[in-house]
Chains A and B, each alone.
Chain A
């Protein structure tokens, strides 16, 4: 049953990433792909939050698996960020590449930490 839930929420996560990324990318002209950054930050905060609920409030581990592994895991992506960073380097935009990768990871680390902190309240 959990596996079925992961399948459903995984496909929803992937579709949400596609729609969010599309919506953001159409509104920004920057070389830095903000759409990818936004889905990653959003999913990281949400996963930090549901992980915190399990840690601090005896939240259900099944909920964490469904929302975390299923939805957040599929919403966020590592492959796309890695690809975009290599592309930016290839295009000679090294500083944008550094911001995309290091900035992206740093902001997501903070977002997940914030999610954990909010859940601990």
Chain B
């Protein structure tokens, strides 16, 4: 039932094993996940737009939730679900990769500096990094607990 240890996998979770590389169904899974992730982020941004000069809460929560989910999902996919072929390309490369964003994060921080809100920018960068790493760690720990309870 259980697969290997997620920490034996390559460090970069966006790489597919040689046998799966560039297969049409893998590419479709990535495109499909990417479409959903980008659309969800767009809709969330419409609902809760960033206010000029304010802490960009929406992007912060989008990225932090994605960091939590990648910790959870990578462990579950590799260690619990024995890596169903398309789970990682769909969920991790496509969906979470597109849901989270580095470009919006850094551009928002740059614009805060440009508008004179340097402290808010600094708080935003530090909070995003610290929360992201903590969220991924918590995701990994929770997934392993979950896997043990369910076994």
A interface vs B, CB < 8 Å? 2-3, 6-15, 17-18, 21-22, 25, 31, 33, 35-36, 40, 43-44, 46-48, 51, 65, 68-70, 72-88, 90-91, 101-102, 104-105, 108-109, 111-113, 115-116
Contacts and interface: CB of A to CB of B under 8 A. Distances in A.
A9 B136 CA distance: 27
B12 A79 contact: no
B27 interface: yes
Given A15-B31, A82-B67, A108 B37 contact: no
Contact of B41 (A18, A21, A69): A69
Given A14-B30, A79-B99, A82-B70, A7 B129 contact: no
B32 interface: yes
B109 interface: yes
Question: What 3 pairs between A and B have smallest CB-CB spacing?
Answer: A10-B38, A14-B34, A78-B100
Interface residues of B, number: 59
B53 interface: no
B107 A78 contact: no
A44 B67 contact: no
Which of A9, A84, A112 has most B Cβ within 10 Å?
Answer: A112
A7 B140 CA distance: 30
Interface of B: 7, 11-16, 21-22, 27, 30-35, 37-39, 41-43, 45, 63, 66-67, 69-71, 74, 89, 92-94, 96-107, 109-111, 114, 125, 128-129, 132-133, 135-137, 140
Contacts of A104: 102
Contact of A73 (B12, B21, B103): B103
